[in-house]
């Protein structure tokens, strides 16, 4: 997702632009995606309005009952779950962006010489299995886990009385999501800071601005595109997240994605589940329409930042 | 003027290193408990052992799931890379009708939530009267990894010198021969990157595999999920997890280093020894993984 708009962004002419391609070669991959990506989406659409059913022999006819129930019935639990999920996604995105900014700032302005090595350090854990890292957090946060042991060992909590909200709570789901995304938010912010014309900082100080004023009136406004990109990097995948709550969330902390998952694994009502699945796709596409243009963080497009 | 004062720099440095500790601690915890002589992963440590590794590799279900995921990963990444080459060549055409539509559609899997795609594929199979199978998992994984392949191969293709292909054609090579003898070798390093990114993504994918892998033949992530409810299995899961993490770190770093080395050899450009910007870009493609 991170560099999703790079393909179009790099169309600018330049030396060695390679253009002898054959347009027809794009047809097989295009057909593949049409059948196996749009096909499934069309089918969940058909299911959501009752035009198809997974129950053999069941009557199929257009009906908006499920949509009506999801969107308008008072106190619909799935609509509540959806609202809760969006709140979690927003909160995680905001906190993650706030935490990532100083990391990017450190890389670009303090680490300078070794900044790419340090960036690697930040990103290294993310070469590794996401599932395994979630399981590691489960091990760390549970009642007999490392964190509870440490808390009791330094006397913050009496022995044999673990901190209950550490696991299967909003805290654990939020923490693991935060953990998973901070490095990826730091990346686009780092990219804009690297691309910034550092002479502007000198100009500001020549004109008498303090460090704080320079930061607030030059650096921060100029870094906003990266900040927004980072924010969207988290918001879109978190909106559809369901694995994290599956491992470290309790019954009350499951997200909208979990509702979809359980409809298709435990309940025979695929039609209702499809309403939820379509809603999720629609929300994500809406977010892309609104924010998509910010998602260009190609570091290579940057003027090579050497002397700053 | 420096952007930060001495105090600011110190605070930021401290913050950064605290964060690195935060990011790495779960991995350290896995490594420590994979070698701990206790059935529960809790402190204090009860002694050193390698028995969990032995136990894990004699557990047929666990090794079976690992092998299955590796096979699916190879099949999916080969498929995605082949389609990725075709799509990239198509996108470098001078004239291409519906270019922006094509690009948008090919990259759409990056944003579609895997859970919606997974249940959609389940419904599609059911509608076509096809049983769920590991082959279906492979097809699903090709869809979600195809954009990664394009994002790695296309920029590389764009950076090639078109006169080399033109020269080959002037010397009488057919399009296919020119591709085989000129373009393909020059793409080589980026193909390895593409293959690895797709493999790592497929190997770790849970949603699609959970719905499309027939019960009795779980992939590794699906096995991880079911075994997380069986505490007795946990130490073995941790042991194998440690190995998986180590192998993936070494593989990706080696491949990235190798790719950059090979690109310098082929093109003969002088680049810094270790091109972090390049790596970060490839990593960013892993964002969804």
Q: pLDDT (tens digit, 9 = 90+) per residue, A82-124?
A: 999 999 999 999 999 999 999 999 998 888 778 887 888 888 8
The predicted pLDDT at position B114 comes to 94
CATH code of the domain made up of A86-301: 1.10.3720.10
Check whether B72 has a pLDDT greater than 90.
Answer: yes
B44 assigned to some structural domain: no
Q: CA A214, A216, A222, A223 torsion: positive or negative?
A: positive
Nearest chain A Cα distance for residue B265, angstroms: 18
Q: Domain containing B151 — which CATH number?
A: 1.10.3720.10
Query: Out of B119, B175, B221, whose CB is closest to A277?
Result: B119
More confident residue, B101 or B70: B70
More confident residue, A296 or B27: B27
The predicted pLDDT at position A207 comes to 86
The predicted pLDDT at position A3 comes to 39
Which range marks the domain in which residue B196 is found?
50-288
Contact B1 A103 (CB under 8 A): no
Q: pLDDT (tens digit, 9 = 90+) per residue, A130-167?
A: 899 999 999 899 888 888 888 888 878 777 778 888 88
Contacts of A52 in chain B (CB under 8 A): 123, 127
What gap in Å lies between CA A185 and CA A194, rounded to an integer?
Answer: 15
- Which positions 58-97 of A are in contact with B (Cβ < 8 Å)? none
The predicted pLDDT at position B162 comes to 77
**Residues near A42 by Cβ (< 8 Å), separated by ≥ 6?**
none
What gap in Å lies between CA A45 and CA A271, rounded to an integer?
Answer: 9
The predicted pLDDT at position B262 comes to 66
Please, which pLDDT band fits residue A20 given cuts at 50, 70 and 90? low
Nearest chain A Cα distance for residue B23, angstroms: 7
Residue A306 per-residue DSSP state: -
- Closest to A92 measured CA to CA, from A239, A191, A225: A239
Residues A255 and A242 sit within 8 Å (Cβ to Cβ):
yes
* Tokens of residue A31, six digits: 């057909």
Query: Out of A118, A214, A260, whose CB is closest to B115?
Result: A260
More confident residue, B277 or A86: A86
The predicted pLDDT at position A154 comes to 85
Contact B25 A140 (CB under 8 A): yes
Residues B249 and A127 sit within 8 Å (Cβ to Cβ):
yes
Contact A34 B105 (CB under 8 A): yes
Contacts of B87 in chain A (CB under 8 A): 25-26, 29-30
The predicted pLDDT at position B282 comes to 47
B57 assigned to some structural domain: yes
The predicted pLDDT at position B258 comes to 66
- List the domain boundaries for chain A: 86-301
Across chain A, mean pLDDT equals 83
Check whether A8 has a pLDDT greater than 60.
Answer: no
What gap in Å lies between CA B83 and CA B142, rounded to an integer?
Answer: 9
B3 assigned to some structural domain: no
Q: Quick one: what percent of chain B has pLDDT higher than 70?
A: 87
Return the residue matching tokens 């957090």: A137
What gap in Å lies between CA B105 and CA A285, rounded to an integer?
Answer: 12
The predicted pLDDT at position B267 comes to 54
ipTM for the whole complex: 0.84
Contact A17 B162 (CB under 8 A): yes
The predicted pLDDT at position B95 comes to 73
Task: Supply the angle between the helices B276-285 and B184-203 in degrees, to the nearest 10.
Answer: 50
B105 assigned to some structural domain: yes
Please, which pLDDT band fits residue A300 given cuts at 50, 70 and 90? very low
Contact B23 A182 (CB under 8 A): yes
Contact B238 A139 (CB under 8 A): yes
Q: Mutate which of B15, B52, B86, B251 to test chain A, going by most A C-beta atoms within 10 A?
A: B86
The predicted pLDDT at position A21 comes to 64
The predicted pLDDT at position B265 comes to 62
Contact A135 B244 (CB under 8 A): no
Contacts of B103 in chain A (CB under 8 A): 7-8
Query: Out of B4, B93, B115, whose CB is closest to A211?
Result: B4
Contacts of A130 in chain B (CB under 8 A): 204, 289
Q: pLDDT (tens digit, 9 = 90+) per residue, B194-239?
A: 888 899 899 999 999 999 999 889 999 999 998 877 777 788 888 8
Give chain B's domain count: 1
Residues A240 and A278 sit within 8 Å (Cβ to Cβ):
no
B222 assigned to some structural domain: yes
Residue A254 per-residue DSSP state: -
Contacts of A263 in chain B (CB under 8 A): 119
The predicted pLDDT at position B260 comes to 66
Range ranked top by mean pLDDT from A69-78, A113-122, B80-89: B80-89
Give the A:B interface size as CB pairs under 8 Å: 357
Nearest chain A Cα distance for residue B49, angstroms: 19
The predicted pLDDT at position A9 comes to 39
The predicted pLDDT at position B264 comes to 65
Residue A138 forms contact with B (CB below 8 Å): yes
Please, which pLDDT band fits residue A281 given cuts at 50, 70 and 90? very high
Q: CA B167, B169, B175, B180 torsion: positive or negative?
A: negative
Contact A36 B140 (CB under 8 A): yes
The predicted pLDDT at position B139 comes to 96
What gap in Å lies between CA B288 and CA B176, rounded to an integer?
Answer: 34
Contact B157 A18 (CB under 8 A): yes
């Amino acid at each position: 997702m991170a560099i999703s708009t790079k393909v179009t962004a790099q169309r600018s002419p330049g030396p060695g632009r390679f253009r002898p391609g054959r347009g027809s070669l794009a047809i097989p991959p295009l057909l593949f995606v049409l059948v196996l990506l749009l096909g499934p989406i069309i089918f969940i659409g058909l299911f959501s309005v009752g035009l198809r059913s997974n129950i053999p022999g069941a009557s199929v006819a257009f009906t908006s009952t499920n949509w009506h129930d999801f969107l308008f019935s008072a106190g619909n639990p799935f609509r509540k779950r959806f609202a809760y999920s969006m709140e979690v996604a927003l909160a995680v995105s905001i906190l993650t962006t706030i935490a990532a900014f100083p990391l990017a700032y450190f890389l670009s302005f303090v680490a300078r010489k070794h900044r790419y090595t340090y960036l690697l350090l930040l990103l290294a854990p993310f070469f590794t299995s996401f599932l395994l890292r979630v399981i590691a957090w489960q091990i760390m946060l549970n009642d007999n886990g490392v964190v509870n042991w440490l808390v009791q060992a330094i006397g913050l909590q009496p022995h044999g009385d673990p901190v209950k909200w550490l696991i299967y709570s909003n805290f654990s789901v939020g923490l693991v999501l935060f953990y998973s995304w901070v490095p990826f938010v730091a990346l686009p912010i780092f990219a804009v800071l690297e691309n910034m014309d550092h002479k502007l900082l000198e100009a500001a100080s020549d004109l008498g601005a303090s460090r704080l004023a320079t930061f607030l009136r030059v650096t921060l406004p100029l870094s906003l595109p990266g900040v927004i990109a980072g924010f969207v990097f988290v918001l879109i995948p978190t909106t559809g997240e369901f694995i994290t709550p599956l491992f470290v969330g309790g019954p009350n902390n499951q997200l909208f994605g979990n509702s979809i998952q359980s409809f298709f694994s435990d309940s025979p009502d695929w039609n209702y589940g499809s309403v939820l699945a379509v809603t999720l796709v629609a929300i994500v596409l809406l977010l892309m329409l609104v924010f998509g243009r910010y998602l260009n963080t190609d570091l290579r497009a940057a003027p090579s930042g050497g002397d700053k | 003027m420096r952007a930060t004062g001495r105090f600011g720099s110190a605070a930021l440095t401290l913050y950064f290193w605290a964060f690195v500790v935060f990011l790495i601690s779960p991995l350290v915890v896995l490594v420590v408990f994979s070698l701990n002589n206790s059935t529960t992963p809790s402190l204090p440590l009860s002694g050193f052992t390698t028995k969990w590794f032995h136990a894990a590799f004699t557990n047929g279900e666990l090794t079976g799931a690992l092998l299955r995921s590796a096979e699916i990963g190879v099949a999916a990444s080969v498929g995605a890379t082949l389609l990725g080459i075709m799509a990239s060549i198509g996108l470098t055409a001078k004239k291409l009708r519906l270019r922006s539509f094509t690009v948008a559609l090919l990259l759409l899997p990056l944003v579609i939530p895997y859970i919606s795609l997974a249940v959609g594929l389940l419904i599609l199979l059911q509608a076509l009267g096809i049983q769920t199978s590991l082959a279906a998992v492979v097809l699903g994984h090709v869809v979600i990894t195809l954009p990664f392949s394009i994002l790695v191969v296309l920029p590389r293709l764009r950076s090639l010198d078109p006169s080399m292909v033109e020269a080959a054609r002037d010397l009488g090579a057919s399009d296919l021969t020119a591709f085989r003898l000129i373009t393909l070798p020059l793409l080589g390093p980026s193909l390895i990157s593409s293959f690895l990114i797709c493999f790592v993504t497929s190997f770790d994918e849970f949603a699609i595999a959970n719905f499309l892998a027939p019960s009795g033949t779980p992939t590794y992530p699906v096995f991880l999920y079911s075994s997380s409810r069986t505490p007795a299995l946990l130490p073995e899961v941790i042991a194998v997890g440690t190995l998986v993490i180590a192998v993936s770190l070494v593989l990706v770093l080696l491949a990235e280093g190798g790719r950059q080395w090979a690109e310098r050899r082929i093109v003969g450009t002088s680049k810094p020894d270790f091109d972090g910007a390049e790596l970060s870009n490839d990593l960013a493609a892993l964002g969804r993984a």
